[in-house]
Amino acid sequence: MVKDIQLRVTLAEEERADILLIKSSQFLDMSRDKISGIKVLRKSIDARKPKIIFNYKVAVYINEPVPETSEYTFDYKDVSNAKPIHIIGFGPAGMYAALRCIELGFKPIVLERGKNVQDRRRDLKAINQDHFVNEDSNYCFGEGGAGTYSDGKLYTRSLKRGDVRRIFENLVYHGATDQILVDAHPHIGTNKLPKVVQNVRETILKHGGEIHFETRVTNFTVKNNTIQAIQLQNGNEMTANRVILATGHSARDIYYLLHDKEIALEAKSFAMGVRAEHPQEIIDRIQYHCSGQRSELLPAASYSLVQQVNDRGVYSFCMCPGGFIVPAATANGEVVVNGMSPSKRNNLFANSGIVVEINVDIDLPKYEHFGVLKGLKYQEDLERLAFTSGGRSQAAPAQRLTDFVQGKLSSSLNSTSYQPGLNSAPLHSLLPKLIGSRLRQGFKVFGEKMHGYYTEEANIVGVESRTSSPISIPRTEKLEHPQIKGLYPCGEGGGYAGGIVSAAMDGERCAEAACV
């Protein structure tokens, strides 16, 4: 017999190793020795009140053993001689598209402009220390995509787009901790995810798939509105009639290529803003209602904030407790910031994107002449402005939070996790009014919601501009471009995902559509 029950455990009780057994036996009104095992199905923390509660959903096994294996299996076939499906991009969407192709008996041929996870590290070092951006290998481009070295958060609201559990189980199959199956806000960590990504690569190669790194796609051959071939930067051409386009939201050259070839694109609303960085202990004190150091049983505290300001949402995005701010530019001459956390989330700082919704149909009248590229052009201009105001390097423009809201230049800045460094800049006047004025009002409200959040001990760092793509690539109900037969826009780059899990699910769906 198996019974699923909900348990509430206090912080003091959580210290006991056998507390779930005790609570379960009390809940079911039976002696502990009748319970053969307990499996945690879900765990979350409720810190809204001074008394912190751990919420558990557990399966209690009575007179039968706890199953040792997952109900999910992954049937990878030998596809060495199978029909090929070409996949452009090896981020979450491309990776899961490739894995699903193998399950369906098709051979994935992956073309990735960046390097593998090991070689990519040298280019990340060059950004952080030498302020040089390799335009094909950086925090956005390379094996595993943007998620590999920018956190690995797995939380998603896209529960209706596919089997979220299957995505998590597949990550565990490839070496991720099984804790992600339990946590309400699962997270792998930027130090752990590269190994998982490498294991996915090895699965694909072992079963006959191909992965070509440092292979940038520069053109498509289209005849009679049908994909015929792919041109590569090295001058080679690949015959291809089914192409999954999973290039991510930062592959601007792909948008320009499609636009130049008069392949339909659509302007899409998006969001831009800054990174707010606080000492982690401040966020811990606010969220856990504590005056000193948090309990070792509690993770670094996170937060989620949202507020309507002048008919636009101002909200936190990609919150990284115990994390780092990283340079996420994909070209020299621009500054872009993103956030990440290691698996232990044990850094001294907490950072989060604080961004403003931009309605691409209303908010950008000066960019209307760019047509569907207007949001992209706006994004580019702000990133170049950040580069100039930061000192024409990967150093980022920054301001104390209170100075930004009060509209004055910071005479000094707080310590930061951002390795290339910060330069004091008047972001309150540099950011367009569309963004800056709403951020200033939003921060005031956030300070009222979280007492202690609005503090001179926090920096804001610019710009957080790659929350999502400002362009979408249309597709039909069969996930195929309505104009080009054999082209399957996919993931964040297509405008169909907003994170690792939703991109992975969309990759599987596109593979299923292409493999017919």
pLDDT in tens, 270-307: 999 999 999 999 999 999 998 888 999 999 999 999 99
Mean pLDDT calculated for residue range 53-81: 94
Round to whole Å and give the CA distance between 169 and 507.
Answer: 16
The upper half-sphere exposure of residue 273, i.e. CA atoms within 13 Å in the direction of its Cβ, equals 28
Supply the pLDDT for residue 293: 85
- The per-residue pLDDT for range 74-121, each reduced to its tens digit, is 999 999 999 999 999 999 999 999 999 999 999 999 999 999 999 999
DSSP-assigned states of every residue in 403-464? HHHHT---SS----S-TT-EEE--HHHHS-HHHHHHHHHHHHHHHHHSTTSS-TT-EEEEEE
For the cut 70, the answer to whether the pLDDT of residue 71 exceeds it is yes
What percent of the chain has pLDDT above 70?
98
Kindly give the pairing relationship between strand 324-327 and strand 422-424: unpaired
pLDDT band at 189 (very low <50, low <70, confident <90, very high): confident
Tens of pLDDT, residues 439-479 = 999 999 999 999 999 999 999 999 999 999 999 999 999 99
Say if residues 148 and 118 touch (Cβ distance below 8 Å): no
pLDDT tens digit sequence for 143-174: 999 878 766 678 766 556 678 999 999 999 99
pLDDT of 338 above 90? yes
- CA–CA dist 221, 240 (Å, integer): 9
Q: What is the pLDDT of residue 158?
A: 59
Give the per-residue pLDDT at 371. 98
What is the number of alpha carbons within 13 Å of residue 124 lying toward its C-beta?
Answer: 23
Average pLDDT, the chain: 95
Question: Average pLDDT of 320-333?
Answer: 96
Element (H, E) at 237: strand 237-239
pLDDT score for 235: 96
- Domains of the chain plus CATH, in order, are 2-62 (3.30.70.2700), 84-265+473-514 (3.50.50.60), 267-464 (no CATH)
pLDDT at 160: 62
Tokens (6 digits) for 114: 């960046």
CA distance 118 to 88: 20
Predicted pLDDT of residue 149: 75
- Sign of the dihedral through C-alpha 305, 430, 456, 329: positive
Type of residue at 111? L
Got the DSSP string for 339-366? EE--TT--SSEEEEEEEEEE-TTTS-GG
Q: What is the pLDDT of residue 215?
A: 98
Looking at residue 93, its pLDDT comes to 97
* 216 three-state secondary structure: coil
Average pLDDT in the 399-403 region?
98
Which residues, at least 6 apart from 386, have a Cβ–Cβ distance to it below 8 Å? 334, 335, 336, 396, 397, 462, 463
Q: What are phi and psi of 248, to 5 degrees?
A: 85, 170
Dihedral, CA atoms, 361, 364, 368, 369, nearest 10 degrees?
-160
Interhelix angle 92-103/164-173, rounded to 10 degrees, is 90
Mean pLDDT score, 209-220: 98
Position 363 scores a pLDDT of: 98
Average pLDDT rounded to a whole number, residues 365-387: 98
- pTM exceeds 0.85, yes or no: yes
The amino acid present at 101, given as its one-letter code, is: C
CA atoms within 13 A on the CB side of 470: 25
Give the separation between CA 500 and CA 116, rounded to whole angstroms. 18
CB-based burial label for 516 (10 Å; 0-12, 13-18, 19+): exposed
Beta strands in 47-191 (DSSP E): 53-62, 84-88, 107-111
